[in-house]
Amino acid sequence: MPSETPDNNDLIYGLNDRPEFAPAMLAALQHVLAAFVGIITPPLIIGSALGLGTYLPYLISMALMVSGVGTFIQARRPFRIGAGMICLQGTSFAFLGAVLSAGFMVKQRGGSPEDIMAMVFGVCFFGAFVQIVLSRFIGHLRRVITPLVTGIVITLIGISLIKVGVTDLGGGFNAPDFGEPINLILGVSVLLVIILLNRSNTPWIRLSSIIIGLAVGSVAAWLSGKLVLQSIADVALISVPTPFRFGFSFDWAAFLPIALIYLISSIETVGDLTANCMLSREPIKGPAYLARLKGGVLGDGVSCMIAATFSAFPNTTFAQNNGVIQLTGVASRHVGLYIGAILFLLGLFPIIGAMLQQIPKPVLGGATLVMFGSVAAAGVRILARSPLDRRSMLIIATSFGVGLGIAAQPTLLQHLPTLVQNLFDSAITSGGLTAIVMCLVLPEGTDARAEEEMEALEH
């Protein structure tokens, strides 16, 4: 449907074109560059927050490796699994709150790092089946989870994660030097570098802004004595993927919040795939489009199942890579095969994770603050595109009030059953469920008719 394709989108290579090796590799490298930090940041945050430092190089390697496999599946579309497009799979920020909550629950019980990962990857493995099943009913799901609900949940995800970014910027959770001027200076410096580079008219500079910001911050931290490089001589040369390396555990209290995020992640993927179809000049209506959506969400679910099996956190289709398609004019799904291979090779060598693990918390916090703020901004953007009548405003206000209120005062639920506490103590789950229920209960159109009648009376 060319009429629904942006006028400024001139494709050099269409969806099924086969670029030569050089242009395909160049386009693939830009995709990897745009997504690399997003893939490795969640393992860094989760690992540091839950005390998994010993295993961080391995977790980062697995995150990159699984992202490569998932991206390859989405592009190759074996057995109708995948969208058959450039759908770069990366570690999802949306699951951070629920994963950290599950990890802290095990930690409070006296569990070891291995126990924490056994629980997290166990519930994430079963959660992937939620997305796999939902992919078969994606047409009906879009009627239940509206853009209004999606916008509310994404905004809540961003707002919830901002606290993590600010904590790192100050020096890290329970750091003895938390809030010291040097930490704030480093974090704010990284933040300013990323902002300035994002204002550039050069696409390469904008795509590299986070990597450059982290590099500049790390050098500044080294010069100030905040970064003391550790030896990486004892790091294994190659990471060998091991299924369920840390064991397998399950708890309903940890599972339910994660299952809800899988539901929301499916809706996010639908939005990303629709944008990808538009940029690739593919239909956004009809059976072919619906089949692509089903395959794409199924691909996300399979990718998440593989991730949990090999000790990586849940994956999702990265939205920022749609921007790379538009910038490069390369929509060929064959480029996705190159992207998958590059990410897999990067994950094969754990020395990369060992080096990234040494980035000081304030430097990491300065970068993640922008990224998490961008998540919240994306949610606001979705809300702004929705019809904001009185019904919608009531749903938004109530969902934000419940979600952020419970997050600000977690002891509110202390006398309720543990299952209820674990399900609703997150702003994402409590606010998201509130939005879903209100959208189902409150009929559409009532407010619009009332406003029309009121305008008729006034005139």
One domain for residues 433 and 288: no
Residue 379 lies inside a defined structural domain of this protein: yes
Q: How far apart, in whole angstroms, are the C-alpha atoms of residue 282 and residue 279?
A: 8
Whether residues 29 and 145 share a domain: the answer is: yes
Whether 6 maps to a domain, the answer reads no
Find the angle CA(351)-CA(352)-CA(353) to the nearest 5 degrees.
Answer: 90
Query: CA 243, CA 247: separation in Å to the nearest integer?
Result: 9
The set of residues, in sequence order, having a beta carbon less than 8 Å from that of 330 and lying 6+ positions away, is 11, 12, 13, 19, 23, 24, 27
Contact residues for 348 (Cβ-Cβ < 8 A; gap 6+): 61, 65, 238, 239
Give phi and psi for 208, each to the nearest 5.
-95, 5
* Cα distances (Å, whole numbers) of residue 320 to 30, 33, 212, 226, 429: 11, 11, 17, 32, 24
Cα-flanking dihedrals φ and ψ of residue 91, to 5°? Answer: -60, 130
Six-digit token pair at 144? 């239940």
Question: Which of these three, 354, 369, 386, is where a domain ends?
Answer: 386
Tokens for 208, please give them. 């590299």
The length of the chain is: 459
Q: Which of 333, 352, 386 is the last residue of a domain?
A: 386
Does residue 3 lie within any of the structural domains? Answer: no
| 30's tokens | 């830009």
**Is residue 425 in some structural domain?**
yes
Q: What is the pLDDT of residue 143?
A: 67
User: How far apart are the two ends of the chain, measured CA to CA in Å?
Assistant: 42
**Does 410 lie in the same domain as 360?**
no
Whole-number pLDDT of residue 162: 83
With respect to residue 5, please indicate whether it lies within any of the assigned structural domains.
no
Residues 254 and 381 in one domain: yes
Q: Among 338, 359, 386, where does a domain finish?
A: 386
Global pTM reads 0.73
| 63 and 16 belong to one structural domain | yes
One domain for residues 254 and 403: no
Asked if residue 458 is part of any domain, the answer here is no
Q: Is 389 helix (H, G, I), strand (E, B) or coil?
A: coil
Residues 426 and 278 in one domain: no
CB atoms within 10 A of CB 347: 27
Assigned domain for 298 exists: yes
Residue 164: which region, alpha, beta or left (left: phi > 0; alpha: psi -120 to 50)?
alpha
B/e letters for 36-67, b = 16+ CB within 10 Å, e = fewer, are bbbbbbbbbbbbbbbebeebbbbbbbbbbbbb
Each residue's pLDDT, cut to its tens digit, for the chain (459 residues) gives: 333 444 444 678 888 999 888 888 888 887 887 677 778 888 988 998 898 988 988 999 999 999 999 999 999 999 999 999 999 999 988 788 789 888 988 998 999 999 999 999 999 999 999 999 999 888 776 667 677 887 887 788 778 778 878 888 888 777 788 889 999 999 999 999 988 987 887 766 776 777 788 889 999 999 988 887 777 767 777 888 999 999 999 988 889 889 888 987 887 787 778 778 888 888 877 888 889 999 999 999 999 999 999 999 999 988 767 777 876 778 899 999 999 999 998 898 878 767 776 888 898 888 878 877 877 887 788 788 788 889 999 999 999 999 999 888 878 888 887 667 766 777 877 888 898 889 888 877 655 554 444 444 444
Q: How many CA atoms lie within 13 A of 109 on its CB side?
A: 12
The residue range of the domain holding 417 is 388-447
CA separation for the pair 298, 89 (Å, rounded): 12
User: What are the helix (H) ranges across 329-444?
Assistant: 333-348, 351-356, 361-385, 390-408, 418-424, 427-441
**In this structure, what DSSP letter does residue 444 have?**
S
Q: Is 320 exposed, middle or buried (0-12, 13-18, 19+ CB in 10 A)?
A: middle
User: In the beta sheet, which residues pair with residue 316?
Assistant: 90
Same domain, 89 and 109: yes
Gap between the Cα atoms of 42 and 404, Å rounded? 22
Same domain flag for 410 and 350: no
Amino acid identity of 258?
I
- The DSSP bridge pattern shows strands 315-317 and 89-91 to be antiparallel
- Residue 278's CB: how many other CB atoms inside 10 A? 18
Task: Clarify whether residues 273 and 414 are in a common domain.
Answer: no
Written as one letter, the residue type at 170 is G
**How remote is the C-alpha of 114 from its chain's centroid?**
24
Q: What is the pLDDT of residue 10?
A: 63
Do the beta carbons of residue 35 and residue 88 sit within 8 Å? yes
How many domains are there within the chain?
2
Nearest to 64 by CA among 320, 276, 238, 299: 238
- Residue 456, domain member (yes or no): no
The residue type at 234: D
**Who's near 387: CB < 8 A, 6+ residues apart?**
none
Q: Whose CA is closest to 398, among 430, 360, 444?
A: 430
The answer to whether residues 221 and 111 belong to one domain is yes
- The secondary structure element, H or E, covering residue 359 is none
Residues 352 and 217 in one domain: yes
Query: Which pLDDT score is estimated for 285?
Result: 76
Q: Return the number of other C-beta atoms located less than 10 Å from residue 229's C-beta.
A: 9
